[in-house]
Structure 1
Amino acid sequence: MTDPSTQGPARPANVFRFRFRVRYGECDAQGVVFNARFADYVDIAVNEYIRTLFGDYRWLLEQDRDIQVVSLTVNWKSPAKFDDVLEARIRPGRLGTTSFTLHLQFMRYDEETTIAEADITYVLIQPSLMTKVGFDELIGSKLQQGAAGVLVSHAGEPG
């Protein structure tokens, strides 16, 4: 798989998109989203992405499989504020034998302003043994294919 950082901006047609609204309690004394909240935003967006890929996150658990974060980097570009509707755009990155990386780009819904970018790497585990495992063909192919063109919204945005 190619390195997503060399592919330029994520366009709506070639990515999974998740929209959500910034809540008051997610903002700091400066009136912008507190930096640590972006880890929450990544987690929520990736959970929706995994749900889209596998039909339900529980499907992974029923296979005695789960994912654990091994690396998360976030780079901020512009502030987000209370009541902004943000769109997380996710595209698959590197797929290894036991780990995979996703690239996320957070945009304001109504404009093409990048708020932040994140790269997150997970390892696939077998929860019953708490050990990492390799991807079977189905899981690996779904992670590599991604969910381009899918939009999930929790924002209640107009139109």
Structure 2
Amino acid sequence: MADQDHAPVVRMPLTVRYHECDQQGIVFNANYLAYADMAAFEFYKVVFGSTNYITDRGVDMVVAETGLRYLRPCRFEDELVVSLSIEHIGTTSLVLGIRIHRGAELVLEGSNRYVWVDTTAYRPTRPGDDIRDLLVKARDAATA
């Protein structure tokens, strides 16, 4: 789960749309992962300067594991903020913490573990030093 000691690298606001809600009028659970994925593209821009910086270097990140805790229901037109923090930088993996707030209220927390893969065979690989350096720099800047 997301660790409160890790500061967000990116915060992405969004408004819940009607079609994201289930029959009970609550955001359908899978949409929270879509929100995290949307925030991941913002994360790429903040950390690497563009969404294709890493793929231009022959590597990519794929989700290997997800864990979410739903703390409060969200509904149509709720104003949310999706925050991603760097929880762990491994040799072939990266863990991003996910926290979603409605105002000051935490409504979801969790994490995604990504595995670095090469863009040719999609086999696990190590990212280049430049990628790791940018991740460390972003994590340190967030906690400063």
**Letter paired with 1:5:** D
Is the contact between residue 50 and residue 56 of structure 1 (CA under 8 Å) also seen in structure 2? yes
Tell me whether 1:87 sits opposite 2:81 in the alignment.
yes
Q: Aligned equivalents of 1:61 and 1:74: distance in 2?
A: 27
Pairwise CA RMSD of aligned residues?
Answer: 2.0
Q: How far off its partner does 1:4 sit?
A: 5.4
Is the contact between residue 92 and residue 145 of structure 1 (CA under 8 Å) also seen in structure 2? no
Tell me whether 1:44 sits opposite 2:42 in the alignment.
no
Q: How far off its partner does 1:19 sit?
A: 0.7
Q: How far off its partner does 1:85 sit?
A: 1.3
* Correspondence for 1:131 among 118, 123, 128: 123
* Correspondence for 2:24 among 30, 38, 55: 30
TM-score (norm: length of structure 1): 0.81
Is the contact between residue 18 and residue 87 of structure 1 (CA under 8 Å) also seen in structure 2? yes
> Counterpart in 2 of 1:7?
5
- Where 2:42 maps in the other structure, the secondary structure is helix
TM-score (norm: length of structure 2): 0.89
- Where 1:115 maps in the other structure, the secondary structure is strand
For structure 2, the 5+ residue unaligned runs are none
Number of equivalences: 141
Q: Aligned equivalents of 2:28 and 2:51: distance in 1?
A: 28
Q: How far off its partner does 1:73 sit?
A: 0.7
Is the contact between residue 72 and residue 121 of structure 1 (CA under 8 Å) also seen in structure 2? yes
* Correspondence for 1:57 among 33, 51, 58: 51
For structure 1, the 5+ residue unaligned runs are 150-159
Mean Cα displacement is larger for which, 41-50 or 134-143?
A: 134-143
* Correspondence for 1:114 among 103, 106, 110: 106
**Letter paired with 2:134:** K
Q: Aligned equivalents of 2:116 and 2:60: distance in 1?
A: 6
Q: How big is each residue's C-alpha offset from its partner over 1:72-115, in whole Å with a ceiling of 9 and x where there is no partner?
A: 1110111111111110111101111000101011001xx21011
Is the contact between residue 80 and residue 101 of structure 2 (CA under 8 Å) also seen in structure 1? yes
Percent identity between matched residues is: 28
